[in-house]
Homo-oligomer: A and B are copies of this chain.
Amino acid sequence: MSGQKHLLKPRRLGVDTHQELVVYMRDDCHVCRSEGFNAHSRIQVNLSERSVLATLNVIHGDWLASNEFGLSESAWHALNPRDGERADFAHAPTVDSMSAVRAKIYGNPLRDTQFDAIISDVCKGLYTDVELATFLTTCASHGLDEKEIAGLTRAMINAGEHLDWHREMIVDKHCVGGLPGNRTTPLVVAMVAAEGLVMPKTSSRAITSPAGTADTMETLAPVALSIADMQRVVEQEGGCIAWGGAMSLSPADDILIRIERAIDLDSEGQLVASVLSKKAAAGATHVVIDLPVGPTAKVRSETDARRLAALLCDTGEAIGLAVRAVITDGLQPVGRGIGPALEARDVLAVLQNKNGAPADLRARSIHLAGAIFELSGLAAEGAGTVLAETSLSSGRAWRKFQAICEAQGGMRTPPLATQTQPVPAPREGIVTAIDNRVLARIAKLSGAPAAPASGLDLHVRLGDRVERGQPLFTLHTETTGELAYALEYLDTHANVIRIAGEPEGDSPSQ
């Protein structure tokens, strides 16, 4: 920016600021003074041909020298300084695309070119967390129309890498979350690949739930695969279950999801763009989408589900994807475990055809795999579930799953939590309602998904008769702090599981 460059020596400070890039300078350092930098200034750091934007923290004191600057772990990894390199600095450039975001706040729809500019700037790291929250919130508040959703989806696809499998048909599936324990993906991939279709599955980590498919699968095998690794696994086995974020497929999605998680926000347009951009970038041609519906699932009503299904199919058509949406029962959690390792245990029980394996998890997986068999043409309409059932009961799916895990780097045994605590029924009666959201929140407070063994194990289902004192579910935690925290929350949300015979006037907590 200015004619003469002021150079500083990089120093790794070992400060983990999560994904935020932070650099540190002395208040009396000549760069701070000549450039007019202040605490929280957004600045551009240039090191040879590399460049990042970071937030400045100003140091008073002498533990940093005035001819050096400090880097957070995130900034260190982003810049990757080599021996002897020196950095120069400038004010961060104005983020012009934020004017489009402000126009959206005032009610103007966003055009395709504006989405391209916004998503490109987001991927370059030009947006602060506060600006990302502004973008997401105004899109959720005004909503996005069909044209905007297609524009956002295309922008998110274009901003990342694209996988090309050199095949005519690549199948995929996705579940629009909100239903704890609904871990069908590993089962569906195993069935579909076992029967000869190609399904290179990329999954997200949890957004607002206690576990995403990537979190669960990671307790069974490595999931942070490079594109080359993924291609090798798929070439060999016809399927894989990888974490999409490690591959820079729709990288904007991972940045946006972090902020959506922080504000606990899921919006329809963002959801469609997130799902379909990942599928398209991953090279899918035929996609089945599971939409669980229930008063405490993400999709609350049949009407909402139909609208979302239409939006997914229409946006799919706009970007050249064959999409089938399957509306399913979302009244209660699926399987028993809620949390990465506990859900992995349920998946293994179904694959191994164990006695007592969760029947609902098995049935849903068969339903979805059947829809893929039909959409792909491998089975006639109506004959898909028979093929899926056979794949499971014959053991073909289980053998395929083990082979996939081995190919991804070796099968793992899901961890067990160090502490468990049963939560007893406060009275006898019939289970009449289960609040998915409160249950998910309890699993999160127990430490899931960050601590993979944490979460909870559900022992009852709708319609079950329970005795007073009989365990309704068991908390699994790794720390005493988290256990106390989950129990404290439970104190104020005791009707997470409703048992007939409760006094009138109670309403399910939201």
A contacts, CB < 8 Å to B: 1-3, 13-20, 24, 27, 33-36, 38-40, 57-61, 63, 72-73, 90-91, 94, 98-99, 102, 104-107, 128-134, 136-138, 140-142, 259, 262-265, 267, 447, 450-451, 478-482, 484-485, 488-489, 510
Most B Cβ at <10 Å: residue of A90, A141, A142, A264: A141
Nearest B residue (CB) for A33: B479
Q: Please determine whether A450 and B38 come into contact, CB atoms closer than 8 angstroms.
A: yes
Q: What is the bound-complex CA distance between A331 and B137, given in angstroms?
A: 33
Q: What is the bound-complex CA distance between A95 and B264, given in angstroms?
A: 11
Contacts of A481 in B (CB 8 A): 1-2, 34-36, 90-91
Most B Cβ at <10 Å: residue of A14, A35, A60, A129: A14
Contacts of A90 in B (CB 8 A): 481
Contacts of A105 in B (CB 8 A): 137, 140-141, 265, 267
Most B Cβ at <10 Å: residue of A19, A36, A60, A259: A36
Q: Please determine whether B510 and A59 come into contact, CB atoms closer than 8 angstroms.
A: no
Q: What is the bound-complex CA distance between A441 and B259, given in angstroms?
A: 29
Query: So how many copies of this chain end up in the complex?
Result: 2
Q: What's the least CB distance linking A509 to chain B, in Å?
A: 11
With A2-B481, A36-B478, A484-B1 given, is the CB distance from A60 to B14 under 8 Å?
Answer: yes
Q: Please determine whether B2 and A57 come into contact, CB atoms closer than 8 angstroms.
A: no
**Contact among B13, B60, B104, B141 with A16 in the assembled complex (CB-CB below 8 Å):** B60
Q: Please determine whether A510 and B99 come into contact, CB atoms closer than 8 angstroms.
A: yes
Q: What is the bound-complex CA distance between A485 and B480, given in angstroms?
A: 53
With A36-B447, A105-B265, A479-B34 given, is the CB distance from A57 to B134 under 8 Å?
Answer: no
> 16 A-B residue contacts at CB 8 Å?
A13-B61, A15-B58, A16-B59, A18-B38, A18-B40, A36-B447, A36-B451, A38-B450, A90-B481, A91-B481, A104-B141, A129-B129, A130-B130, A130-B259, A137-B141, A138-B138
Q: Please determine whether A130 and B263 come into contact, CB atoms closer than 8 angstroms.
A: yes
Q: What is the bound-complex CA distance between A91 and B446, given in angstroms?
A: 12
Q: What is the bound-complex CA distance between A264 and B16, given in angstroms?
A: 29
Contacts of A13 in B (CB 8 A): 61
Q: What is the bound-complex CA distance between A374 and B23, given in angstroms?
A: 55
**Contact among B14, B36, B98, B262 with A130 in the assembled complex (CB-CB below 8 Å):** B262
Q: What is the bound-complex CA distance between A485 and B91, given in angstroms?
A: 8
**Contact among B20, B132, B264, B478 with A40 in the assembled complex (CB-CB below 8 Å):** B20
Q: What is the bound-complex CA distance between A35 and B265, given in angstroms?
A: 26
Q: What's the least CB distance linking A192 to chain B, in Å?
A: 36
Q: What is the bound-complex CA distance between A267 and B141, given in angstroms?
A: 15
